[in-house]
Structure formats: structure tokens, C-alpha cells
């Protein structure tokens, strides 16, 4: 399999068990080795006391993009540390896109930046995730 085929197959295997992303209406728009893009429309159920999107939902979208990007090489990878900076408010009805990019991959550790934008291209948040590979694969490994 090519690296792209491995990324797509790993993403499909993960997506099948990812009820959080599915139930929040996320779509997996793109996956490649070390990269992933997911989108989600903000619903009224996701609003906070200010009438904006609750930051936890923005974080969840970014975290899902992070997960698909760092698990794109048929290696089980988990989040070790992450942080998010909110830049602009998100409104009900906005379509958010989280684009994850691998910044560094050394041994078992990786760093990923995830840019979250709305349907108008406005940069609404920036997420950085640190990953750590653990035992296991998403796909059967043949000798």
C-alpha cells in the first residue's frame, strides 16, 4: 500500500469506532500522511451562555482532526498534551473546518498544529497537539 492508501485505510478504521465525531455531525474531508481536515456545523445545542459556540465543541473538532492526522500511518497514537487559543467568536450555524498539519515527528513523539476557520475563512482558533505512539496498529500487518 502507498502512504496515502495507508492514511485512508487507517482513517476509515478509526472513523468506524468514532461515535463522538459522527454524533456531532463532523465530516472527514481529507486525510493524508500527517494531515487531516474535518468540518462541523455549529448547532444551537452547542451554544454557551453568550449565544456563541461553546469552546469545548471547537476543541473537540480540533482534537478529532489531530487524532486523524497523527494516526495516519497505521500506528496507534494518542494525545499526550494539547492546548487551544480562541481567536474569534463562533456563531450558531457557522461551518467550522479544522485542518491538522504535522510539524514534527521524531521517534514516538509528534507535534501537530490545527487551524480552525469558519465558512468565511476567518481564523477562529489555533490548537497544538503533542502525540505519543503506543503499541498497536489500525490495519492488519502482513509480513
Are 90 and 71 in contact by the 8 Å Cβ rule? The answer is no
Q: What is the pLDDT of residue 143?
A: 57
Sheet of 123-133, strands arranged across: 27-32, 35-41, 95-106, 109-117, 123-133, 77-86
Average pLDDT estimate for 90-111: 97
Contact 106, 70 (CB under 8 A): no
CA trace torsion 117, 106, 73, 28 (10° rounding):
-10
As a whole number, the mean pLDDT across the chain is 96
State yes or no: pLDDT of 141 exceeds 90. Answer: no
- Each residue of 24-79: pLDDT tens digit? 999 999 999 999 999 999 999 999 999 999 999 999 999 999 999 999 999 999 99
Is 81's pLDDT higher than 90? yes
Residues 6+ apart with CB under 8 A from 13: 138, 139
Average pLDDT for 2-28:
95
Q: What is the pLDDT of residue 97?
A: 98
Amino acid at each position: 500500500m502507498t502512504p496515502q492508501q495507508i492514511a485512508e485505510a487507517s482513517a476509515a478504521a478509526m472513523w468506524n469506532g468514532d461515535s463522538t465525531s459522527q454524533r456531532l455531525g463532523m465530516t472527514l474531508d481529507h486525510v493524508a500522511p500527517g494531515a487531516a481536515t474535518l468540518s462541523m456545523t455549529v448547532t444551537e445545542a452547542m451554544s454557551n451562555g453568550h449565544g456563541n459556540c461553546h469552546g469545548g465543541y471547537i476543541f473537540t473538532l480540533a482534537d478529532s482532526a489531530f487524532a486523524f492526522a497523527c494516526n495516519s500511518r497505521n500506528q496507534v497514537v494518542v494525545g499526550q498534551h494539547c492546548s487551544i487559543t480562541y481567536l474569534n467568536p463562533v456563531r450558531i450555524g457557522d461551518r467550522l473546518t479544522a485542518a491538522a498539519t504535522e510539524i514534527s515527528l521524531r521517534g514516538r513523539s509528534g507535534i501537530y498544529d490545527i487551524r480552525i476557520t469558519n465558512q468565511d475563512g476567518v481564523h477562529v482558533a489555533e490548537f497544538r497537539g503533542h502525540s505519543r505512539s503506543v503499541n498497536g496498529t489500525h490495519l492488519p500487518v502482513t509480513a
